[in-house]
Amino acid sequence: MADTTAPESTENDDVSAQDSPASSKSEIARHVVGLSDRAIQRVVGNNAFLRGRLYARRHVVAGLVDNNDEVRGEISVRNADEPYRTTARVSDDALVSECTCPGWRGPTGHCKHVAAILVALRDRERPPQPKNKDGEQKKGDSPKKKRKKKKKNKPEPTTPVHIPGTVSAGGKRRRSRRRRRGKGGGDSLDVISARDLAGTHGESRGAFDAWLPPDALPKPYEIEYRLTVRATSINVTPVIAGTRGAVPITEVLAGFKMLSVDDRPLMRALGRHVTRGNQATAEVRGEDAAEVLAMLRGRRVLLEPASMELRFSDEPLRPKLELDLIDDDALRTRVVFTQKNGRRFLLNAGAWFEGTPGWYVDLSDGIARPIVESVPPGWLQRLFRSPALVVPITDLPTVLGEHIPRVAVSLGVELPELDQVASVIDAEPDFELRGDGDIIEANVRMRVRYEDQEFDVPAIGFPSPLAFLPGSDDSGRPRVVRRDVGAEMAAMQQIMNQGFAVGPEGESLVARG
């Protein structure tokens, strides 16, 4: 139900309430018949009134029934299967409305259909009077007769003359086009002024004004947030819940008891990024955007322009290294982010914001997902600029032996599978010792064999986990031997425990006795 105080019409309204009939059939009719266009506009809002009046004047309102303090009606629109059922009633000098359309938004959110039944009821009880050329109401002439007089007295049109050096001849069409561009959309937000935001809600309390000023609110406003996501930034607009009234951020922060304790940290963060032209919108970028997204968790956030509610996921996205071949002569490596169920998220889709943690906003699903904190902001910036790297296949030993392990350790991820880019040979290692010398000194060498491939086991250093073989298999992919480094190092340690020492050149094991 929407509850809004219904204002009284004033002397400056378009149509005075003094011409309304002395008695009407119902209380709601007596109330509405005294309202002018401007008074109805103040109740339902500018955009809702303009559209609702258009519905009423086109006779779209059907089944208009007023009974005591309530009026009901149905409005049929093209994009709805069933007509919208709308109800409005007067309760304690306040207008209470209800509508089945998706545009009806709560306590002060009267929609255009509410405006339509109010205008239709007012026009039925008090038909609008045409006006003469001086702007005064004229009761004698009908609208048809008035149009005939206006057409008769219309001056002959003149041909516009173009003056060299000017932009256009006449300029009427350009002015109307400029006016159309200046108008906001039907779903635009109205920024509430500081005076209307505070209002006067109490009486003077004398000495206690130092603690409780006259404009103190009975309770803080409930705030929801409208979010517009761009490639590198987010625009956040705080709105009073259930309305389309945006609040100026700095004014609501400076007001007395306008914000709850939970909303103040978020509003202060937004206040540092208020745009110059609109005090109700904050444009936030980079790590500040990630911080604001984390603070928006648990609040009602609507994604614009679709007005879809943004949901927050608890499961963080984790990076994963992927390898694949391109045309058998190039190797591509890239980083994607995954969930536990295996769903992949590419860096070239959606909006990514670096931070601790960073955030990914999926605009298609309307879900904001955190990124694990092991991915620092610098890493995410570089990945976003270059999500994939392509190198020649001849650089495969360097990429797999040096670069990929370093990236995996830095990001805290597992090494990628090599089956997509190479034919991997896994076999049990066989060790062989070869020695020569005399009674005084013995030289021993150790080698390891994987099937028909044999490699030296170094006495110093850590052996490479991969060995690249010349040539390729039938599919044209390179051949790679995946060595059992742990077994090789254990065998090396066992030989050294037998009393052998590293030789002077680091290539042999030496025993002296």
- Which pLDDT value is given to residue 179? 46
The structure tokens 């008090």 sit at 126
Instruction: Pick the most confident of 278-287, 396-405, 421-430, 444-453.
Output: 278-287
**Mean pLDDT of the residues in the chain:** 77
**pLDDT grade, residue 501 (50/70/90)?**
low
Q: What is the pLDDT of residue 472?
A: 72
- pLDDT, residue 358, reads 92
Q: Is the pTM of this model over 0.85?
A: no
Question: Residue 21: its pLDDT value, please?
Answer: 44
Read off the tokens for 297: 């968790």
Return the higher-pLDDT residue of 450 and 141: 450
pLDDT in tens, 8-48: 444 444 444 444 444 447 888 888 888 888 888 888 888 88
The predicted structure's pLDDT at residue 48: 84
Name 97's Cβ contacts closer than 8 Å, sequence gap at least 6.
1, 2, 4, 86, 87, 88, 89, 104, 110, 111, 114
Summarize the confidence of residues 465-476 as an average pLDDT: 72
CA dist 222 and 216 (Å) reads: 15
Please tell me the distance from the alpha carbon of residue 125 to that of residue 377, in angstroms, as a whole number: 66
Distance in angstroms (rounded) separating the CA atoms of residues 483 and 467: 7
Catalogue the E-assigned strands of 241-370. 245-246, 282-285, 301-303, 308-309, 311-312, 318-326, 330-338, 344-345, 351-353, 359-362, 367-370
| 206-225 pLDDT, tens digit each | 666 677 776 677 788 899 99
What's the N-to-C CA distance of the chain in angstroms? 100
pLDDT for position 183: 42
73-82, 102-111, 196-205, 430-439: segment of lowest average pLDDT:
196-205
| 454-475 mean pLDDT | 71
